[in-house]
Structure 1
Amino acid sequence: MDDEAAEIELLEQNLNKTRQISQRMTAILSSFDGRLVKLEKAILPLYASTQLLTRRAGNIDSVLGKIEEVASNRDGIATEEALILRGPQPGQLETYKEALERLNASIAFKSSEEDTSQAARIVETGATKVTQLYTKLVAEGSAGVPPGGPDFALTPFDVSLRIQLNPIVSFLRTLPLPATHPNHPAALAIQSTLRDAQRGYGEMRGSWSRKCLEPHAKRLLERSETVDGVLAGREVGAWVQNMLSVAEEEYSLLSDLAPISSSSLVATTFSSLITPLISLFKSTLSSLNTSIKRSLQRHTFLALSTYTSLSELETRWEDSMCRRAGRRENELKDALSSLRSVCLRSFPELIANIKAGAMGKGGELSTNVVDFVTSTVEFLERVPEVKAAVGSALLKLGDGNWKMGEGITVPKTARLGEGDEDLILENFIFDVVNTTITSLVTLSRSQRRPTFGSIFLLNNVSYLRTHLLTNGPDALLSSQGRELLNSNFRTAKAKYMDANLSPLLAALGEDKDKSKSSVKEKFTRFFDLLDELLERHAIAEVLPDESEGDERERVCQEVVPLVVSLFQGFVQKNPGKDFSRNPQKYIKLSGAEVEAKLKSIYS
């Protein structure tokens, strides 16, 4: 306990000493604070005087710096002007660009009005110099002789020129314009210079593009008069595809090389660029259309094939030649409309030409296949190649209107629309076939000798049937059309046999007169008619266009047994010794020889 009391007493003593020390420190600090207040009051007037002097010294230094800056700026403008007036030198475009940027900076920081005006004039001059270099390089890439040859090849912009142009275009796009630098005194003049350069770009590239495509347009028109119509129509489509490819390539190039890259001005420039192409397109299609109209039946498939080829390009044309150029006119639609009108005319004219084929004067007629039948077959055989165009045009013309209103009445419920192309095509082909057969029947009846008329009808109907059912567009014929061909072929064959064989068969027919003179007369009549038959068929061949001879063989198999069996039966009933001492005088040929003679007709 004593130790603890001693420790407590010692702690109290230390606490008292600490308290005394704290009191003395507080007294000292209070005295120091009072002295500081007195010092502040004493030096405050001196501080205020010093601050005023410092501000005045700063103003003097600023004035001196400005004077020095103006003097150096005048020397700098003179130096920049000399550099810029020389124009951008090879390999020094960056130096030229930096000089113009320094001048633009001096204008931005508002030097004197005189200096700003002078700097703006120099900046405008520099912009003009760079723009002239730009135009020069574009002109070099848009000149020369386009590649020749029958096949079109897209001519790319020269790569070396493109490399030179890229930094120039990048620099031109940084020049001050009213939209980006409304207060720059040269902005309006620079914008006008760049617009002129961009307009010139469009004109040069447009002229070059037309120059590349024009020789192929001329060749196209020349070939349209000599080559197959469907092929020529496809070549027209290929040429327009090439034109669209050129336009698309030029739009991409313009987007990269336009000095002013705003979408509205690019569209305006592109519209100017493609104007020569559109002019070439219109003149070429107009010439082609005139040629088609001049000889429509000859060029029907050229019109149909061209219409098909161009129809496939409608969307692409709208995108490339209208939307990108901000144009509402659509020359491809106009061309298609004109072509469709021509195509619509071709169908009634085909029917009219077939009818006109039956308007010939009566008299002797060749038994060969007539021109309007071969041309009709050629037309129908080629329809599948342009089926879409034919179906579309027929729908536009209207079901049955190709007959030019020949008393036809189409019920409202039967009117055809989109999706009925196959049906209206079947109807049209049926009417073509029916009109052709009607004209053939009319012509066959106009013959002075029915025997030749029957051969003419059989040959022509057979040609029509063979080519349309065997070699032609069988899939486009309706069941009614196929039956029309088959039934008329059967009818033609029956008429042929009736006109040519009935007299021969009738010569050996039964009658009441069984006298020897009657038998002699029958044999004489039979062989006279047989000679006439052979002579007739030597002049008028039956089914000459049956390349494989299948149908001709069937006719032979029908004719020969019928005649030979009747002849042999008559010979058996009338042996030679019964009606004549010299039967060889009347029975000139044996049954086998008659058979051989008849078979020779169809060999």
Structure 2
Amino acid sequence: MVAPRKTAFAEESAEVEVLFANMEKLKGLTKKIQGSLNRLETSGKTVEDAIGPIYGNTQRLQTTNSNVDKIIDAIDRIRAPVDQRNREERIIRAGYVVFRISSSPDVHHQSSPQKSGLNEYIASLDRTTQALADLKQSNLRSNQQAISELQSLLKLGTRQLEDVSREFLREESRPIEPLHYITKQLPFPALPQDKISRLRLINNYISASIAQLSSGDVRETPTAKVYADIRGEYINVSLRNLAAASVTTARKTSPDALYRQGTSGIGTYAQGLEGAWRAEYDNICPIFARDEWGRVYGSTCRVSLDEFGRTLNALNEHIRANLTTDCFLAYEIVGIVTELSMRLDAATGGELKRPLGDALRPVRDTAKASLSKLLDDTRNRAAMLISLPQDGAAVPVTADALSRLQAMTAYIGPLGSIMTSLGDGGWGGSSRRPGAASANGAHFDVGADGRELFAHYAADTVDALLSALEGKARSILKTRSLQGVFIVNNVVVAERMIRASDLAPLLMSGSAGGSRPPSQQQGVGAGGGAGGIRPVLDAWRKRGVAAYSDAWREPSSQLLDVQYTNRGARPHSGGQGPGGVIDSTAVVKALSSKDKDAIKEKFRNFNTSFDDLVQKHKGYKLEKEVRPLLAREVQQVIEPLYGRFWDRYHEVDKGKGKYVKYDKNQLAATLASLG
């Protein structure tokens, strides 16, 4: 038992010894490890002392590296516009050539290549513009060269686009024949829509580019100037023949012939201008911005407006040289240009209203001056007559004066405007007519009616004519009777021409009642007033009839007798017999021999004077309306007087016919033959 126990103790003792031995080894190992740790700690401190500065330098290097990367990125961003300039320069310089080729007539109908070429070209310019803006924002001195190069490149591109727009416009600006469109009442040709779209695109870019590149206020863009130059010349060249024709057609072969409405080509010329200007306004509106419409439109029309002004000046010189016959051309021009201005004012915004008014002013001034000139010419032509018809016939001067007034009726519109600006009587008419302008100067009557003013002017013309003719008749025609016949004949000719023409509704609208003495009578004017020209004609007719009737006072005076009521018995009621009939035998029987001789002498003198006046009357050249008028006037005076005188004293002749040549029926027949 003891042996196994010892064996077990021996094994355990051996294990303990092994454990102790291991512990000793572990202690030795621990000491070694501790020594290693001590050495490692010492080495770590040494390394730390050596690595610390290197680590700090590394951090600084990393920061520096990051900064360098950022600088490189900034440099790349700064260089990007410069690099882009190189790319865009190739597109701009080469792209324009491609664009021009794509715009050739051979591919005119292939719209896509043209549009894409133009859009790409402008897109390149837009990118260049943006690059320029970026460079300007950098404010780096080193970018100034690049900025200058980009600006030069943009200017090159802009000039090329101007050339493109110029070519587009030239393609569509070949002169046309305006008469084709005028005679067929067709609108003048406008630019094609595809060209308008491209021109609008070009103008929009150039306007924006100019606004960026220019520091000042640019009122006219290059595209606007190109448009105005090319299209303005196109209008002027197209209408040049019409301008020349307006002057040549105004010339006449007969110097005394009155101008006839429509003879000059000025109306056709104005139609051509209106058609061309309207078409141009329709072109301008979709191409340019609204605030540019008026400016571009005015610049485009300036050349043709100047040519129109020169044409009107040439016509004005012709009118002034032939004022009394061609003043009607001035009235026509005033009407045409005024209506043209009004239509364009409504259609295009009134941009041409003032220049058209300036161009018209010389002709309008001539038209104003012509009114007084015509009045003076009417007076002078009557006053310069060397002789007058000895039979009292009307003179051609009257027909000429009325022909002028008839011709004026075709221009009532412009004449109304001209006369309104002069004022009533401002043409130099009678200052005694109520409402007429004073002799010191005309006034502008804003409420005046043009037709009424024309009636006043016509009345002044007729009055001036008849006044001058009356003065001439007094100096040439010997008798007042002949003078009266002459005046009445001219009055009737004037009235007949008025009634048979367009003057009638203008001048004869008033009532026929009443009369108006001529302007020579104190306090009476020459105007037509509310009754038109009729009072003037009636007054002069009455004046002429009175002058003619003056000669018939002589035979009338022979038919007046004297009856004495303080003498002896006389026949009751003037010698009336049974039935109330005058008993001539009783009347004559009651006369003394001296009274009978006086009655015989009266009959003899009456016969002589009456026969002489009848003979003269039949020798007068009387208008068909004048003959019954004068005959009736004589009959109303002579027949009652002679009838009474014959009833009382015809028995003084005892039926022999020696003294009493006419009985009442014979006298009535003779008087009736005067008409």
**Matched residue type, 1:477:** G
Instruction: Describe the superposition over 1:361-416 as per-residue Cα deviations: whole angstroms up to 9, x where unpaired.
Output: 46654523334433444556647652332132246x8596878xxxx99599x985
Instruction: Describe the superposition over 1:121-170 as per-residue Cα deviations: whole angstroms up to 9, x where unpaired.
Output: 777666555543432231122114323267595653445x3323413531
Instruction: Describe the superposition over 1:152-207 as per-residue Cα deviations: whole angstroms up to 9, x where unpaired.
Output: 95653445x3323413531453359654554xxxx99xx9x972x54343222112
In 2, distance between residues paired with 1:107 and 1:420? 62
In 1, distance between residues paired with 2:176 and 2:339? 32
The residue correspondences of 1:51-450 to structure 2 (distance < 5 A) are 82-86=94-98, 87-89=100-102, 90=107, 91=110, 92-97=113-118, 99-100=120-121, 101-102=123-124, 105=127, 108=130, 128=159, 130-148=161-179, 151=183, 153=185, 155-158=187-190, 161-171=192-202, 173-174=204-205, 178-179=209-210, 181-182=212-213, 195=222, 198-221=224-247, 231=261, 240=270, 243=273, 246-257=276-287, 263=291, 269-304=296-331, 306-307=333-334, 310=337, 324=351, 330=355, 332-333=357-358, 335-336=360-361, 339-340=364-365, 342-344=367-369, 346-347=371-372, 350-351=375-376, 353-354=378-379, 357-361=382-386, 364-365=389-390, 367-378=392-403, 382=408, 386-394=415-423, 417-419=444-446, 421=448, 432-446=461-475, 447-450=477-480
Change (3 A) 1:352 1:70: closer
1:491 aligns with 2:523: no
Change (3 A) 1:70 1:522: closer
Tell whether the 8 Å contact from 1:207 to 1:276 is kept in structure 2 after alignment.
yes
Of stretches 293-302 and 120-129 in structure 1, the one that deviates more from structure 2 is 120-129
SS, match of residue 177 in structure 2:
coil
In 1, distance between residues paired with 2:560 and 2:82? 136
SS, match of residue 460 in structure 1:
helix
SS, match of residue 297 in structure 1:
helix
Structure 1 portions without partners, runs of 5+: 1-44
Q: TM-score, normalised by structure 1?
A: 0.64
Who is 1:27 aligned against? none
Tell whether the 8 Å contact from 1:84 to 1:122 is kept in structure 2 after alignment.
no
Which of 606, 617, 620 is matched with 1:540 structurally? 620
In 2, distance between residues paired with 1:201 and 1:294? 40
Change (3 A) 1:313 1:597: same
In 1, distance between residues paired with 2:619 and 2:560? 28
Change (3 A) 1:601 1:222: farther
Change (3 A) 1:157 1:194: farther
Aligned length: 527
Who is 1:478 aligned against? 529
1:599 aligns with 2:621: no
Which of 541, 544, 559 is matched with 2:634 structurally? 559
Larger Rg: 2
Structure 2 portions without partners, runs of 5+: 1-54, 136-141, 511-526, 563-592
Q: 1:520 Cα deviation (Å)?
A: 11
Tell whether the 8 Å contact from 2:402 to 2:494 is kept in structure 1 after alignment.
yes
In 2, distance between residues paired with 1:70 and 1:355? 88
Tell whether the 8 Å contact from 2:199 to 2:287 is kept in structure 1 after alignment.
no
SS, match of residue 418 in structure 1:
coil
Tell whether the 8 Å contact from 1:134 to 1:168 is kept in structure 2 after alignment.
yes
Change (3 A) 1:600 1:145: farther
In 2, distance between residues paired with 1:358 and 1:338? 29
**Matched residue type, 1:299:** D
1:459 aligns with 2:489: yes
SS, match of residue 173 in structure 1:
helix
Tell whether the 8 Å contact from 1:147 to 1:212 is kept in structure 2 after alignment.
yes
